[in-house]
């Protein structure tokens, strides 16, 4: 080899080694610097240096783990979890990463109990390699506790204390677990031992304070909460402990004083100011709350939580321009923040731009597929538009992310009720109550489902209990009023509705039922007067619809139409106004005009299933069965769970003697969704009859006449099924009943003929 070539190769090798060493040296320098900053509490500087190290070497485990720890301390938990997961991908035996992830699994278990199993797995993996790791032992005990296996939890804590008798976390956890087993005396001993062994520990003080608070010893609790704050006055958990204690006792002045003192003592600390703002907001002091947030925003314009809270407040107060301004400014700096897209969607909803709002919610989900608020807003929008299938999909995603989200589960129960499935709604509510017996949302859903199932006394009892627990809950008062209205106890119903409206003047459902109290008694002038009385606190379009319905009840069609058009003029997307205009025309036998009104609505929103449903009904009434089939089918395409559209389409197929298998599928699905509905049972029974299944036909048709469907046609159809089944005696009884009710219905001639044939004429 020539000397020149040898020198060239040596030079290349030297450069390669030098570059490699240079990268390692620089990486290690960044890492060492990050470690120093972390030890000094300089989190931002530490984060920058860890990221510099990772940028040079994306497989450097110490830097990746260190970055996770910094992000964790900053409260950026999602990226922290990602860093700990990456650590384990590179080093599956990394003990600290397993313990950190295990702790996160514990927190996640509060929403999704399956995560307690993951926490247990992490702890057991560490203990298999390091049997004496006490932190893993404590994690295992907490995982058992998450699964309500407190006996095993106590055993694990005792094992820790055998190895380290002064272990604070084991003593505190031992006290908590004994409380879970209803053993307050032993629990107190554990908490006192923790305080005795660690008199300067805020954790020990908070633990015994919580014990005293939960056992009705508020004076002792206050002393310990205050002592914890004295020991570490700038730790958020100690500040919040004392503040929340006062709030729980409704001692708001004391809570406010604590926060003001902390804000004065530590002027650069955000926490007391932010918490005071939240306290003011909860008390309805919106201006004071906003003033504090704006003060924080001046100090740090890029503070995410502060800016987003300000936007939320502006949206709540309909200050849409202010909200848009902040979103535009903040969004430029943080274009990939899912909360920005979500709040833009909320803003668009307030601006009545539903379609663009949905796009923003979808954008939020693209940025973070686990961003539950976006799914929840989509669900609310779909429910409002009666898009039940889409609402269910969105709620399923919310519950995938937050299985214990009481609000979402309440919405799911509401969806089940709206789709005529109160039994499933009841099961959903009761499932929540088994895990959380005190959950108010679930109690309400249970009571609502029982009411819709006709179990009125049980429902009333539950709503009474809810009212006792929260006397100022207007929704409970509303439901109790409805129950009284169902019993035609008009005086009691009116009083409940008045109470509810005094507490929440803007509740339209309550206002509607209050007016109905008078309308159901035929007191239409009083009903109109009640609507006028309510007009000050209600949207103008709602009042117009309400008054129009009163006129419709009196067959005053011209005045009704005037009110419905007034509602649409006040709010262009008042879909109810269009639907009721159509009904006003139909009731006057003006079907072409009724169809025109519904067509206006369909042109406005081609995804509004009730519009297609009503048009199908009008077409069916006009004898255009092909048109009716097309529009019922479209309604089902938009809302596959709509039992009424399914039933009506099945009925048309049955009457035409075509697509009977499809008709059967539709009717069965509708029957499952509304098991107590006699009309749907009648449809299903007649389909069975047409398919020569007379045994099942009799079952369904008998149910129909025993559950509210007692028209002559219903008895006629039951008679036909009984006759074909060979039960001629009962068939005669049904034919007679049909003819007694009306002598000239469709099928009357055949009923007379078969009655004579069976010797019953």
In whole angstroms, give the CA distance from residue 652 to residue 745: 18
Of 177, 182, 174, 240, which is closest to residue 206 (Cα–Cα)? 240
Instruction: Record the tokens describing residue 345, joined without a space.
Output: 């969607």
pLDDT of 213 > 90? The answer is: yes
Q: What is the mean pLDDT of the chain?
A: 89
Cα gap 417→643, rounded to integer Å: 12
Residue 395 CA: distances (Å) to CA of 109, 306, 383, 415: 19, 28, 10, 9
pLDDT in tens, 304-328: 888 889 988 989 888 999 999 989 9
Mean pLDDT along residues 443-464: 87
Tell me: the pLDDT tens digits for 622-661? 999 999 999 999 999 998 888 999 999 999 999 999 999 9
- Mean pLDDT (whole number) for 135-150: 93
Q: How far is CA 397 from CA 373, 376, 383, 413, in A?
A: 10, 9, 15, 15
Are the beta carbons of 652 and 625 closer than 8 angstroms? yes
Q: What is the pLDDT of residues 259-296, one digit of tens each?
A: 999 999 999 899 999 999 999 988 888 889 999 988 98
474-502 b/e with 16+ CB inside 10 Å = b? bbbbbbbbbbbbeeeebeebbbbbebbbe
Can you list the domains of the chain with their CATH numbers?
A: 677-761 (1.25.40.10)
> How confident is the model over 347-387, as pLDDT tens digits?
999 998 988 999 999 999 999 888 999 999 999 898 877 78
Q: In this predicted model, what pLDDT tens digit does every residue of 542-575 receive, in sequence order?
A: 999 999 998 998 899 999 999 999 999 998 888 8
Q: Which two tokens stand for residue 241?
A: 């402990």
Alpha helices in 181-336 (DSSP H): 184-197, 202-214, 218-231, 236-248, 252-265, 270-282, 286-299, 304-316, 320-333
Spacing of C-alpha 753 from chain mean position: 58
For position 696, what pLDDT does the model report?
95
Q: What span, in angstroms and rounded, lies between the C-alpha atoms of 204 and 227?
A: 10
Instruction: Give the number of other CB atoms < 10 A from CB of residue 360.
Output: 22
For 682-725, the pLDDT digits (tens) are 999 999 999 999 999 999 999 999 877 789 999 999 999 999 99
pTM for the model: 0.56
């Amino acid at each position: 080899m020539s000397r020149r070539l040898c020198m060239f190769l040596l030079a290349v090798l030297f450069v390669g080694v030098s570059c490699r060493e240079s990268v390692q040296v620089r990486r290690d320098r960044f890492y060492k610097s990050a470690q120093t900053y972390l030890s000094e509490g300089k989190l931002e500087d530490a984060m920058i240096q860890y990221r510099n190290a990772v940028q040079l070497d994306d497989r450097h485990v110490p830097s990746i783990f260190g970055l996770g720890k910094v992000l964790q301390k900053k409260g950026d938990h999602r990226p922290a979890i990602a860093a700990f997961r990456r650590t384990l991908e590179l080093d599956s035996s990394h003990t600290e990463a397993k313990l950190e992830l295990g702790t996160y699994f514990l927190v996640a278990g509060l929403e999704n109990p399956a995560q307690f199993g993951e926490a247990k797995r992490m702890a057991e993996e560490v203990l298999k390699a390091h049997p004496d790791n006490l932190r893993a032992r404590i994690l295992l005990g907490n995982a058992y506790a998450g699964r309500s296996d407190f006996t095993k939890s106590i055993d694990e804590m005792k094992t820790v204390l055998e190895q380290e008798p002064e272990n604070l976390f084991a003593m505190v956890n031992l006290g908590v677990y004994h409380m879970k087993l209803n053993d307050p005396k032993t629990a107190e001993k554990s908490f006192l031992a923790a305080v005795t062994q660690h008199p300067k520990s805020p954790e020990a003080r908070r633990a015994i304070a919580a014990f005293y608070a939960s056992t009705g010893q508020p004076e002792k609790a206050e002393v310990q909460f205050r002592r914890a704050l004295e020991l570490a006055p700038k730790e958020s958990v100690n500040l919040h402990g004392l503040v929340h204690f006062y709030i729980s006792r409704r001692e708001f002045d004391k809570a406010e004083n604590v926060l003001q003192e902390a804000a004065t003592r530590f002027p650069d600390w955000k926490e007391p100011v932010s918490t005071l703002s939240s306290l003011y907001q909860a008390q309805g002091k919106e201006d004071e709350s906003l003033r504090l947030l704006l003060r924080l925003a001046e100090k740090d314009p890029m503070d995410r939580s502060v800016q987003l809270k300000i936007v939320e407040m502006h949206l709540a107060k309909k200050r849409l321009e202010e909200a848009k301004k902040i979103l535009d400014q903040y969004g430029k700096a943080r274009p990939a923040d899912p909360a920005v897209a979500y709040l833009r969607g909320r803003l668009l909803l307030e601006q009545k731009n539903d379609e663009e709002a949905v796009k923003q919610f979808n954008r939020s989900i693209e940025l973070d597929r686990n961003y539950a608020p976006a799914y929840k807003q989509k669900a609310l929008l779909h429910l409002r538009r009666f898009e039940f299938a889409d609402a269910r999909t969105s709620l399923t995603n919310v519950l995938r992310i937050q299985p214990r989200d009481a609000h979402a589960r309440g919405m799911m129960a509401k969806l089940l009720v709206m789709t005529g499935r109160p039994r499933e709604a009841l099961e959903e509510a009761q499932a929540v109550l088994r895990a959380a017996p005190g959950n108010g949302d679930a109690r309400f859903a249970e009571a609502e489902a029982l009411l819709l199932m006709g179990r009125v006394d049980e429902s009333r009892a539950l709503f009474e209990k809810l009212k006792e627990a929260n006397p100022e809950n207007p929704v409970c008062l509303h439901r109790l009023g409805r129950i009284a209205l169902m019993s035609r106890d008009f005086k009691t119903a009116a009083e409940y509705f008045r109470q509810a409206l005094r507490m929440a003047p803007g509740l339209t459902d309550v206002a509607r039922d209050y007016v109905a109290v008078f309308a159901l008694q035929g007191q239409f002038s009083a009903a109109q007067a009640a609507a006028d009385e309510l007009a000050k606190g209600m949207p103008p379009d709602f009042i117009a619809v309400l008054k129009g319905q009163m006129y419709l009840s009196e067959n005053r069609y011209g005045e009704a139409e005037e009110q419905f058009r007034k509602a649409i003029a006040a709010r262009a997307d008042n879909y109810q106004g269009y639907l009721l205009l159509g009904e006003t025309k139909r009731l006057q036998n003006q079907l072409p005009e009724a169809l025109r009104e519904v067509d206006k609505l369909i042109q406005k929103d081609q995804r509004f299933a009730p519009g297609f449903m009503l048009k199908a009904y009008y077409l069916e009434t006009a004898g255009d069965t092909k048109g009716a089939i097309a529009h019922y089918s479209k309604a089902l395409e938009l809302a596959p769970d709509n039992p009424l559209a399914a039933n009506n389409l099945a009925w048309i197929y049955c009457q035409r003697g075509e697509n009977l298998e499809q008709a059967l599928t539709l009717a069965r699905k509708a029957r499952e969704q509304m098991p107590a509905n006699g009309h749907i049972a009648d449809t299903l029974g007649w389909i069975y009859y047409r398919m020569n299944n007379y045994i099942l036909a009799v079952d369904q048709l008998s149910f129909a006449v025993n559950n509210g469907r007692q028209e002559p046609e219903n008895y006629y159809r039951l008679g036909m099924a009984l006759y074909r089944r060979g039960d001629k005696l009962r068939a005669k009884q049904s034919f007679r009943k049909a003819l007694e009710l009306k002598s000239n219905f469709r099928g009357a001639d055949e009923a007379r003929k078969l009655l004579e044939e069976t010797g019953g004429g």
